Chain A
Amino acid sequence: MSCDDNHEARTKDRAKRRSLPIAGQTSSPKYWRSVEERDRTSPVPGAANEFAGGTFDVAQYGQEDGNGGNSVSRRGFMQVASLSTAMAAVGACTKPAHKIVPFVRRPEEVTPGNPLHFATAYGLDGYASGLLVESHEGRPTKIEGNPAHPQTLGATTSFEQSLTLSVYDDDRAKQIRSGTRPLAWRTFLAETAARTSQLGQNGGAGLRFLISPTTSPFLGDLRKRILDRFPSAKFVSYSSVADDGATDGTKLAFGKPLIARHKVASANVIVSLDADFLGEGNEQTRLSREFAARREPSRQMNRLYVVEPAMTITGAMADHRLRMPGGDVGAFLASLVSMMASRGIAALAPLASLTHGQRHWDPKWLVAVATDLERNRGNSLVIVGRRQPAAVHALAAALNVALGNLGNTVEYATPLTSDPTAGVAPLGTLVQEIAGGGVDTLVITASNPVYGAPVDFKLAKLLERVPNSIYFGLYEDETAAACKTMIPAAHPLESWGDLRATDGTVSIVQPLIAPLWGGIQEADVLAAFVGEGDVGAHALLKKFWKTQGKAPGDFDGTWERWLADGIVPGTAAPAEAGLTVDGQALAQAVAPALGAARQGMEIAFASDPKMYDGRFANSVWLQELPHPITKLTWDNAAMVSEATAKALNLEDGDVVEISYRDRRIDAPILRVPGHADDVVTLPLGYGRTGGEKVAAGIGFNAGELRFSDAPWFDRGVRLEKTERQIKFSITQDHWTMAPDGRETPPPVVSATIAEVLNPHSKFHTEVEDRRPDPEHPQPVIHKPVDYSGQPYKWAMAVDLNKCTGCSACVVACQSENNITTVGKENVRKGREMQWIRIDRYYTGSFEDPEVVTQPLACVHCETAPCEYVCPVNATVHSDEGLNEMVYNRCIGTRYCSNNCPYKVRRFNFLNYINDYSAARELGMNPDVTVRTRGIMEKCTYCVQRIERKRISTRIEGRMIQDGELLTACQQGCPTGAIVFGSLNDSNSKVSQLHADPRRYDLLYEIGTRPRTVYLARVRNPNPELGQPEKAGGHE
């Protein structure tokens, strides 16, 4: 059989380096030798027999792997292979496969070389994002959103995209250990059993669990069973970026902790108060989609007001943006509320008195917002960010209720997480207990609390007082170092489980690959405390769901469907009905919180769009991903406004000593346009000191200044300039579209809705001058090639009006196309490799700029300047108009890149793939050539996807339908800003967009005839606030 031969061949040349996770390799003699060696070192008696029998229990995989090889273990591959085969064999893995199925007896669904997609879910802070994972021969290679999932709607964030990198991360913890003593899982179970029986005697008084906030019903059930066994044990949820303010706020407003579910789709006016709802949070992906849907230029276009200290993705999309210190936002809202009250909104009357003294914002602004909200009662929305205190959230809730938005643009529901709050307060009580010495056994499954917890808790020190501290984590990080016992966690793509979306819908989390380094699953760790540590997560999970009564009748059949669909139908949780706000009570409750703000410069902490709270710090993709706003890579910076920097006489890269209360840290300064004055914003997640190799020594740890009483912002920070300077690896400077005053056509066009709707406005002439006009075609020397005869004429359209610059497409592209990373030094030299470059342009003033982001990859010019200069025909045009790159023909003269007016070509200046670990290579997309040194590369319009789809449709004897072929960037984009298709199909979405009145061609004037075109950015400014400065204005 041909595939066998392939395996033979492959095995021969690869075996030295590693074995591929393909069953059928069993025929390789090398392979068996390694098994014997393997089994000799295996601490598990009978492992050899187990393998001789080839038996294998999905529910137990990895557990015997006591010694955890520090390279990709052959056993891991066997399990992967059988797992994927088994999954395939039964649609989507209904029951544990007990036999290894070699490919010689290949199940129908599995064709070597053809990927399979499996539905699963991932929860950043406990709430589910439904994913589809592409798997090649059992190796997950690409993350896509699950269209059926109510939260992701088929899109993803850059965090989720990076999972296929982290699952193969060679730095991951690989060994269960107690101190330095390696443990086999079963030994650990034995020890735990002994310990717990002692603990049991006093009801587990000394037993504490510090977990990540989770919505998993399954884990919730385990927790219940543990508490049944140990009545006086306690669970505490903690996340260093928890949104407790929101839940506490609703408690103030409605008397019980609730979570808000926003529906921006039906909001005409959105007031975002320090809320980066397009850039972070559990609803991010869905809200982006809904928001973009309302940006279509029409009378229905929504309007976004943003009040925030530092420029965020949401702020960049704002129609009107007001910058102010985070601490003043509450005061602003109070004034807004009282103004609304004064306009006769009865429900707010009791709150009218809250109006605040300080008013350093433009009163016109406040009036305009108030009027707009009033005008759109019921269809307006006030969103408050996670950083704001409870009082602000409460006021917002009251305002939303008073405006009648409840149920239409926002609704409230009981939190789905096992603990309503997961922030400083609950952790504080635990810290008390530890300090009191009352904790004997502490199980930490929260993500790296030692790094994330407030400094005044001194968690690392306290942990020494816990006789038996057990940390369960992916990496040997700061927390692992502080705990006695370390249990390497299985990666989310290696684990069984379940999660709920914000609307309550349950998704079953299923593994895509066996734990590469014998990681343990969270369920198994918890189960160990009810004596079921060896049953296996899969069995427990299925047992649990069998009892939930969601699947009457044939459970296995239903279970199968749940796994296949990625959601459990009918699990959505209803919203709270009949909520009312007691104005009086609220007024009294919030009044003190809004009291006099302290003086001095404000220190503000922010979760990082790339590192989040630091848990992604070991991802080279995210480290090298340019920050959506600052375009900073491989670093974080203390962000200040131009004015503040001037006042302190600071330049970008100057290292300052930040002193706050009794602590000081050094951090480099970065001036950010649109940043509030007298505020320094410190992104979290950097300055890691754990065992992660990539994360080590990058940036500074803002957490060093984070106190439990001021987790997000506070006044009274001082910046002292030091002598030191650092060089940032920044991919784009603060350049407007005409940095030095030159008068070249602006790369991005933006206009106001009024201009767009008026056919005679200057805007229309401007874009018409920048796109082909059938009446007056551009003069040409050579007759344009006619593509109408071809089956397809591939093209792309990017709607700048929808692009938020979130950068999910960049990582999606990186993962789909095996794009390498180059490291800090080379980024600084200008050698970054991401095929998509999201250009960020400021227009207007440095203080209050408008931001437009423009994703720019190869635009596939029909008269490509890169092609005629290549001396070896390494880049040529395809019949369907793709500008093709022939890697193995390229000799690397770089002439094509020089002659590319868009500068979208990327060159392998060094052999970057040299230092890939064997594991990392597993994550490569086998459909895409891995480029070595000296080769030019660039966007291919995902030609491998085109060809795969072409083949499948040809087999079905039909054409590729519009919309069934998505490029990676298009698929990842949460807002649907990127559209790809064939221009020969006049009904295709892309054809329509090419005919859109907002369409313009980048660098049209030089006659490259690009296939990727742009749709102008449209803003919907409030006429009462006057027109914002026209884009293209110069700095």
Chain B
Amino acid sequence: MAAPQLDVRDPLEPVALIEGAAGHTDKTINDSLLAHVWRGAGKGWWACFAVALSLLGMLVISISWTLYKGIGTWGNNIPVGWAFGIINFVWWIGIGHAGTLISAILLLFQQKWRTSINRFAEAMTLFAVICALLFPLIHTGRPWFAAYWLLPYPSTNGIWPQFKSPLTWDVFAVSTYFTISLLFWFLGLVPDLAALRDSSQSKTKRTIYGMLAMGFRGSGRHWAEYKWSYVLLAGLSTPLVLSVHTIVSFDFATSVIPGWHTTIFPPYFVAGAVFSGFAMVMTWMIPARRFLGLKHVVTMKHLENMNKIMLVTGMFVSYGYIMEHFIAWYSGDPYEFAQFYYTRMRGPMKGIYWTMIFCNVIVPQIFWSKRFRTSIPVMWFASILINVGMWCERYNIVITSLHRDFIPSKWENYMPTWVDLSLFAGTIGLFSTLFLLFLKFIPAVAVTEVKELRHELAHDPTADPVGETH
């Protein structure tokens, strides 16, 4: 592979996926992408880590308080039986989905640009799902039972879980989702762990990474099975993601509450998940690529593509809103109509509603313009706004729908307590903590795949089925 005759451009991609690939060899890629692991933790990292840990502390405190006193420490009431807990659950799960989609679906569609961001996205999925998993448990009145009563085990009183309940579906869906994401992530990680093992300087590091790498030695016989099991996991993850958020949406769609009882929720939720997920990747990726020196692999092309996806999914979501309001009018159901045209638009919580409309419908439209699509600050703020907007959407669905339903005499307003707020902040702390640890100890970019990509771009026959010799 003599450098001069390399065409570093992917014929399909007008923009380089690896900037300055000409200068790169497998070795340089290997070293540059592993550098941030070997590099000692800098001040910046420690500063972020300190913030993250303090937020994590809030999480620990608020969870302990909740377990000690009860759900009464939250703002929930009757009729608003679900509030922040479920909002955060749905929000985090949604964020998790983008990760899987990026890595799995783009893999299936052989989107080359996926390579540099999939590890990042998968890690985000894992951590988001961990945050999400907290809530279904601690939001129950008696977590010490909820922890295992939803599993079908032969109990002494002979009662089984109620398999018709969407919550029971949730348990299976979310736990499956977490397991599969973890396996998928780890499988993709094994070759890189081997690379870490072999390029690590100290014995302890070699031992640790060695153990994690499980003695992987890049054997061709292994690669043959490896590719299949990786692709199959991706293939399974794709419908899994769709099913998980569909099932989460069932929590609402199968009920009778106006604003919940609708058939559009599954697609609408999935679109929303991708939307918010990509926004979250963006929010983290932009600083990460700068501070971890990944600009050469996470190029403007990647960011622009993600913006395009946000534009598209944002319009899915807007379509969802439009349909909700249209059907509320068209169905002639007075409660449905009241929910959308009175409670949400003009009710006590209308502020949340209009924020949602602004952030999720208006903001993404700026990505029609190439200038904004390729402007780092613009896309970063937009991504943050979209995260806010999607959180508001969940607030609208969960709380606004509940606080005024059928019978006016039992309407109540909702006010979160300090526990609610610190739980939310706390999960952000948990997420950040895990993420920072990830950035410190594990290659944030799938090194193996980038090497492979480099060979593909270099028209290396081995990377090209047609195969040409030189």
**Chain B CB within 8 A of A903 CB:** yes
Shortest C-beta distance, B356 to chain A (Å), equals 20
**Chain A CB within 8 A of B162 CB:** yes
Enumerate chain B residues within 8 angstroms of A744, measured Cβ to Cβ: 334-335, 338, 406
Query: From residue 414 to 435 of chain B, which have CB atoms closer than 8 A to chain A?
Result: 415
Query: From residue 365 to 387 of chain B, which have CB atoms closer than 8 A to chain A?
Result: none
Residue of A nearest to B166 (CB): A869
Contact with A along B263-275 (1 / 0, CB 8 A): 0000000000000
B71 touches A934 (CB 8 A): yes
B410 touches A742 (CB 8 A): no
B146 touches A891 (CB 8 A): yes
Enumerate chain A residues within 8 angstroms of B337, measured Cβ to Cβ: 742-743
Residue of A nearest to B164 (CB): A868
Among B75-83, B179-187, B188-196, which stretch is in contact with chain A? B75-83
**Chain A CB within 8 A of B141 CB:** yes
- Known A831-B78, A837-B410, A898-B82; judge A936-B141 contact (CB<8 A): yes
**Chain A CB within 8 A of B402 CB:** yes
Enumerate chain A residues within 8 angstroms of B202, measured Cβ to Cβ: none
**Chain B CB within 8 A of A621 CB:** no
Shortest C-beta distance, B74 to chain A (Å), equals 8
B71 touches A892 (CB 8 A): yes
**Chain A CB within 8 A of B111 CB:** no
- Known A829-B75, A830-B78, A891-B140; judge A870-B405 contact (CB<8 A): no
> Which of B160, B165, B347, B402 makes the CB contact (< 8 A) with A898?
B402
Residue of A nearest to B346 (CB): A740
Among B97-105, B205-213, B249-257, B319-327, which stretch is in contact with chain A? B249-257
A831 touches B72 (CB 8 A): yes
Enumerate chain A residues within 8 angstroms of B80, measured Cβ to Cβ: 830
Among A297-305, A472-480, A580-588, A908-916, which stretch is in contact with chain B? A908-916
A826 touches B82 (CB 8 A): no
- Known A831-B77, A871-B162, A1006-B256; judge A890-B407 contact (CB<8 A): no
B75 touches A890 (CB 8 A): no
A907 touches B334 (CB 8 A): no
Shortest C-beta distance, B29 to chain A (Å), equals 49
Shortest C-beta distance, B252 to chain A (Å), equals 9
**Of A744, A854, A856, A873, most B-chain CB atoms within 10 Å:** A744
> Which of B73, B149, B161, B406 makes the CB contact (< 8 A) with A1003?
B406
> Which of B72, B166, B343 makes the CB contact (< 8 A) with A909?
B72
A898 touches B81 (CB 8 A): yes
**Chain B CB within 8 A of A885 CB:** no
B142 touches A892 (CB 8 A): yes
How many of chain A's residues have a CB under 8 angstroms from any CB in B? Answer: 59
B342 touches A891 (CB 8 A): no
B146 touches A893 (CB 8 A): yes
- Known A890-B142, A898-B255, A909-B72; judge A873-B82 contact (CB<8 A): no
Q: How far is the CA of A889 from the CA of B141 in the complex (A)?
A: 12
Contact with B along A838-854 (1 / 0, CB 8 A): 01110000000000001
Q: How far is the CA of A305 from the CA of B462 in the complex (A)?
A: 99
B165 touches A869 (CB 8 A): yes
Enumerate chain A residues within 8 angstroms of B436, measured Cβ to Cβ: none
**Chain B CB within 8 A of A735 CB:** yes
> Which of B69, B347, B407 makes the CB contact (< 8 A) with A903?
B407
Residue of B nearest to A746 (CB): B408
**Chain A CB within 8 A of B32 CB:** no
Q: How far is the CA of A741 from the CA of B410 in the complex (A)?
A: 17
**Chain A CB within 8 A of B411 CB:** yes
Shortest C-beta distance, B397 to chain A (Å), equals 12
**Chain A CB within 8 A of B159 CB:** yes
Residue of B nearest to A874 (CB): B162
Shortest C-beta distance, B87 to chain A (Å), equals 13
Query: From residue 892 to 929 of chain A, which have CB atoms closer than 8 A to chain B?
Result: 892-895, 897-899, 901-903, 905-911
**Chain B CB within 8 A of A738 CB:** yes
**Chain B CB within 8 A of A43 CB:** no
A747 touches B408 (CB 8 A): yes
**Of B69, B139, B338, B410, most A-chain CB atoms within 10 Å:** B410
Enumerate chain B residues within 8 angstroms of A246, measured Cβ to Cβ: none
A871 touches B410 (CB 8 A): no
Enumerate chain B residues within 8 angstroms of A829, measured Cβ to Cβ: 75, 77, 412, 415
Shortest C-beta distance, A366 to chain B (Å), equals 36
A735 touches B72 (CB 8 A): no
**Of B139, B145, B162, B338, most A-chain CB atoms within 10 Å:** B162
B71 touches A868 (CB 8 A): no
Q: How far is the CA of A891 from the CA of B139 in the complex (A)?
A: 10
Query: From residue 915 to 970 of chain A, which have CB atoms closer than 8 A to chain B?
Result: 933-936
Q: How far is the CA of A532 from the CA of B319 in the complex (A)?
A: 89
**Chain A CB within 8 A of B167 CB:** yes
Query: From residue 709 to 759 of chain A, which have CB atoms closer than 8 A to chain B?
Result: 732-733, 735-745, 747
> Which of A869, A873, A898, A911 makes the CB contact (< 8 A) with B159?
A873
B409 touches A910 (CB 8 A): no
Q: How far is the CA of A86 from the CA of B409 in the complex (A)?
A: 49
Q: How far is the CA of A1008 from the CA of B406 in the complex (A)?
A: 13
**Chain B CB within 8 A of A872 CB:** yes
Shortest C-beta distance, B180 to chain A (Å), equals 22
- Known A830-B412, A856-B407; judge A934-B171 contact (CB<8 A): no
- Known A740-B347, A895-B167, A899-B257; judge A839-B407 contact (CB<8 A): yes
A893 touches B140 (CB 8 A): yes
Q: How far is the CA of A890 from the CA of B255 in the complex (A)?
A: 19
Q: How far is the CA of A898 from the CA of B166 in the complex (A)?
A: 13
Enumerate chain B residues within 8 angstroms of A894, measured Cβ to Cβ: 76, 81-82, 141
> Which of B160, B405, B409, B413 makes the CB contact (< 8 A) with A837?
B409
Residue of B nearest to A841 (CB): B409
Enumerate chain A residues within 8 angstroms of B167, measured Cβ to Cβ: 869-871, 893, 895
Query: From residue 588 to 645 of chain A, which have CB atoms closer than 8 A to chain B?
Result: none
Would you list the 9 A-B pairs with minimal beta carbon distance, nearest first?
Answer: A892-B141, A934-B141, A894-B81, A909-B72, A830-B412, A910-B72, A830-B77, A742-B338, A839-B409
Given A736-B408, A893-B139, A1006-B256: 15 more A-B contacts, CB < 8 Å: A732-B410, A831-B78, A856-B409, A869-B165, A871-B165, A871-B168, A872-B161, A890-B141, A894-B141, A901-B257, A906-B78, A908-B141, A933-B70, A1003-B406, A1006-B406
22 contacts between A and B (CB under 8 A): A732-B409, A735-B411, A740-B342, A744-B335, A747-B408, A829-B415, A856-B409, A865-B256, A868-B164, A868-B254, A869-B165, A871-B167, A871-B171, A897-B79, A898-B82, A901-B256, A906-B78, A907-B78, A907-B141, A910-B73, A933-B72, A1002-B407
